[in-house]
Amino acid sequence: MLVSSSQGLLALAFVVRLCEAAGPRPKMEWDPNTISSCIEWYDNGGTETCEYIRDMFGITPEDFHAWNPSIGLDCKPWYPVSYCILTREKWASFTSTARVSKTTSTTSTTSTSVSTHVPSPTAWEALGCYTDDDPAWPVMEKEYSKEGGDTSLKVSDCQSTCWAASVNRTVLYAGVKEGNQCWCSRFVAGETSRNETDCNLPCSGDKTEICGGKGRLNVFAPVTASESPRSSTTTSVSSIATTAKDSSTSATATDRVTSGSVINSATPSSGAMRYRAMFGLFD
């Protein structure tokens, strides 16, 4: 049964806070028999139950037991230790989608499946400028703009695109890069840049806004009505004028793509990921 919009937003806010307990390395004791390919851990220092954690991260009882041999299929015993919540193999299955062809099919089909859309956010919180210059360590999951970039990209356009793609219990972060790229992801990996002014390229569709930088992403998270964002505004060109003045602002794309058309899917090979998945909100 679907929850109401207000309940869904409150649940989303709780999940975002809860996911702060997850990280690429365990911060508590852990079972030495934990699967060696683990790339993300949950530090069980709160009051959440094992069943709740499994459901929230979309982990089956069989997978959770295989990754954490000390705990049974019945979620017992549940100790205050760090547990594996993502393996390199599972990550590969998330990000194995190949580049989607830009060719549009003229064949129409009738589908009986129904996509459930998540509630609309009331605002977007700016998470900062992230370094994204190594294909082996991608910050976000999928690019939702035409190959070569979007000639009329605005921050709000990318946010709308990512929200439109947030269906079937998946909530997506939004990111803008190199002035003309829109990225969406179920999580945010990596770390923010040491210098926020590294994000200094104006958006191709609004020169008063900043859309990341060369190898840099401005990342935004959906915000609920029940909490105030730390920063919900976009970065303007004037705020980093001294840096942006020397940066290239030209865009090479000639067309825009329809929202939700994935043209690139990251496939990282490294295990040091900061996993912020949001599963199981709207059963």
Q: Where are the domains of the chain?
A: 5-94, 123-265
Asked if residue 87 has pLDDT above 80, the reply is yes
- Whether the CA torsion 39, 164, 182, 124 is positive or negative: it is negative
The 10s digit of each residue's pLDDT in 192-246 is 888 889 999 999 999 999 999 999 999 999 886 555 555 445 555 655 543 434 4
- The confidence band for 83, taking pLDDT boundaries of 50, 70 and 90, is very high
Angle at 102 between CA 99 and CA 103, to 5 degrees: 125
The 10s digit of each residue's pLDDT in 240-275 is 543 434 433 333 222 223 333 344 444 433 333 333
pLDDT at 251: 31
> Where are the strands (E) in the chain, listed by range?
22-23, 38-43, 82-87, 123-131, 142-143, 173-177, 181-185, 202-203, 206-210, 216-223, 264-265
Q: Is the pTM of this model over 0.85?
A: no
Of the listed ranges 25-39, 77-91, 108-122, 136-150, the one predicted with least confidence: 108-122
Asked if residue 67 has pLDDT above 80, the reply is yes
- SS3 assignment, position 164: helix
pLDDT averaged over the chain? Answer: 72
- The CA distance from 234 to 155, in Å, is 7
pLDDT at 104: 42
- Highest mean pLDDT among 10-24, 36-50, 103-117 belongs to 36-50
pLDDT at 154: 95
Strand 181-185 relative to strand 142-143, pairing: antiparallel
